[in-house]
Amino acid sequence: MLIAIPDMLDPAGVARVRALIDAGEWVDGNVTSGPQAALAKRNAQLVEDQPAAREAGGLILDALGRSPLFVAAALPLKVFPPLFNRYAGGQDFGLHVDNAIRLQRGSDFRIRSDLSATLFLEDPEAYDGGELVIEDQFGPQVVKLPAGHMVLYPASSLHRVTPVTRGERVASFFWVQSMVRDDGARRILFELDQGVQMVAAAQGQGEPATVSLTGVYHNLLRRWADA
């Protein structure tokens, strides 16, 4: 399932994150690449263990926790601390798939990467290129969102970032281990959740139809979740 989540950060939140990361130390993006990705990746990345990166990442994690749409779509068990990258001057990231297991440097924290996330931190009018192209069953999906908006998609997807030929593309990226490993099951739960919300809005939280559908949702989650 691929889903865009608007306004994960409001303009003030984007400005706070950019003020932190723009003043931070940036290095070659291959510091977090696997052997295959390193052949295709050309960008810069914020050094992840510096205070600016930790503070900016904390702001994003707080925003994720406040987003009902993110929680419903991802059913998160663990979230990898957000990282930050920057593309300019023709830099790109060729077709690749994310590592199945992500390890946080210098710690024993690890996650299974069920979902990948990109949170855009630059307005699309400020740069040319830099589209995130995700291959799925319906063909290539091209994503270039306003600053503060985020896209969530299966980490198993082949994807790439097209060359940035003008300006800079700045984004945060991270991975999510879901309570529900199977993407198809997560899609069913998400669609059911959205349906429950519509029924509740139309008929009320205490109506029998709402209560019954809510019970179905939680029984399916109980069957599929590993928490």
Find all residues with CB under 8 Å of 166, minimum gap 6, and list them.
127, 128, 129
- Residues belonging to the binding site for Fe cation are 96, 98, 159
Structure pTM? Answer: 0.93
Q: What does the pLDDT look like over 39-89, one tens digit per residue?
A: 788 999 999 989 999 999 999 999 999 999 999 999 999 999 999 999 999
Same domain, 196 and 145: no
Query: Is pLDDT at 127 greater than 80 in this prediction?
Result: yes
In this prediction, residue 164 carries a pLDDT of 98
Same domain, 158 and 197: no
Per DSSP, the three-state class of 10 is coil
Same domain, 50 and 156: yes
Query: Is pLDDT at 131 greater than 70 in this prediction?
Result: yes
Question: Containing domain of residue 162, as a range?
Answer: 3-178
Same domain, 124 and 196: no
- CATH number for the domain that contains residue 21: 2.60.120.620
- Residues belonging to the binding site are 96, 98, 159, 169
Query: Is pLDDT at 33 greater than 70 in this prediction?
Result: no
How many domains does the structure of the chain reveal?
A: 2
Query: Is pLDDT at 25 greater than 80 in this prediction?
Result: yes
| Complete DSSP assignment for 19-84 | HHHHTS-EEEGGGG--HHHHTTB--EEE-TTSHHHHHHHHHHHHHHHT-HHHHHHH-EEEEPPPEE
Per-residue exposure over 149-178, b if at least 16 CB sit within 10 Å of its own CB, e if not: bbbbbbbebebbbbbbeebbbbbbbbbbbb
- Residues belonging to the binding site for 2-oxoglutarate are 169
User: What whole-number distance in Å separates Cα of residue 19 and Cα of residue 203?
Assistant: 45
Same domain, 157 and 187: no
Per-residue pLDDT, averaged over 107-125, amounts to 96
Burial class (CB in 10 A: 0-12, 13-18, 19+), 87: buried
